[in-house]
Amino acid sequence: MTFKFEVETTDKSGFKARTGKVTTAHGTFETPVFMSVGTRATVKTMTPRDLIEAGTKVVLGNTYHLALRPGEKLIKKMGGLHSFMAWDGPILTDSGGFQVFSLASLRKLSENGVNFRSHINGDLVEFTPERVMEIERDLGSDIVMPLDHCIGFPCNHKDAKEAMERSIRWLERSKNVSLQDHQTLFAIVQGSGYTDLREYCAKAMVDLDLPGYAIGGLAVGEDKETMQKAILSCNAILPLDKPRYLMGVGTPEDLLMAVAQGVDMFDCVMPTRNARGGGFFTWEGPKQIRNAQYRDDPRPLDPICDSYPSKTFSRSYLHHLFSKKVEEILGLSMLTLHNLTFYNQFMAQIREAIRNGQFAEFVAQFQANYQTKDGKKQKIEAS
């Protein structure tokens, strides 16, 4: 196994932020890191060349979607996921537990696993912990996530406890399945918004002694305070010498808050999905290119962000591409490229601030300048 994680710098101002480096068979990446989401073996509208230009170091694929189409056997025949999608950097594959959770009306859950109807053609499909590991083995990703029982928010304590305990049992079964030599299995801590369940699950996962730990079951409808409480309770237990991965999160403020609490890895569809709807991120806050105010605006998307679209096109031009009577594909790809570049540069500046002992100053300056849509500021405090 070639996986390795090293902590390089820790914040000295009271935050738990740290920088590190993850080594895989397909390259290394610095942490904290944002992973671009390539659900179906592609980051929508992006080529691998675009991803490199945007500063992407790690791509995420989704086991659920890839198993249904084109199928893991075809991907294996084509040389594995790296060869299939022409991405030679690190790849993490999610198990599809969140997607199965979102298909509540189409699935039947049992101790053995999940039976569900394919959203593509209605075929009956079974996902067990062992089956998911076998699929991910064929995909050949570097970091592998196990099947877990993700539960929505709000939920009662009994249901959250049941899902958490099942996730532990499923991980024990997943751990017994052999993977390729270069592959690394992470654990996923569940427990919804209940601190006692998060702590219990984190301790159980640590006892299983895996190379990395994810915090799952968030970004499912909970408020920011609940999210932060869950992160704090997990990170108080998860080992300092192993990476922590917050799944499916989130906004720049979410990322900064979680970095402050010691999280190392992130993924979210927000920069790509928002881009396809006309949303773009700036150091002043999120904006919408379809808004009429940008029709005659000669400024770049963001004068600070060093993205190709921001250096090349005006807001006026991109507004034109997104207008209802035009709707040019170039607009989708350019806003996606910009947003991914923004996220990666945001993470790079966070890493630099931690290394330079200026993380507290970075947090204060970011919050002073960044305006959210609702005008509310998320609490980012040293603990």
Catalytic entry in 50, 94, 148, 254: 94
Catalytic entry in 138, 254, 267, 302: 267
Angle, CA 254 vertex, CA 250 and CA 258 arms, to 5°: 115
The reply to whether 302 belongs to the active site is: no
The answer to whether the Cα torsion of 341, 343, 346, 351 is positive or negative is negative
Structural tokens at position 71: 């199928």
Phi/psi class of residue 79: alpha, beta or left (left: φ > 0; alpha: ψ in -120 to 50)? Answer: left
Distances in Å between the alpha carbon of 266 and those of 48, 176, 248? 19, 26, 7
The reply to whether 138 belongs to the active site is: no
Q: With beta carbons less than 8 A apart as the criterion, state whether 226 and 18 touch.
A: no
Peptide bond into 154 cis (omega under 30): yes
Angle, CA 266 vertex, CA 56 and CA 262 arms, to 5°: 125
Catalytic residues: 94, 267
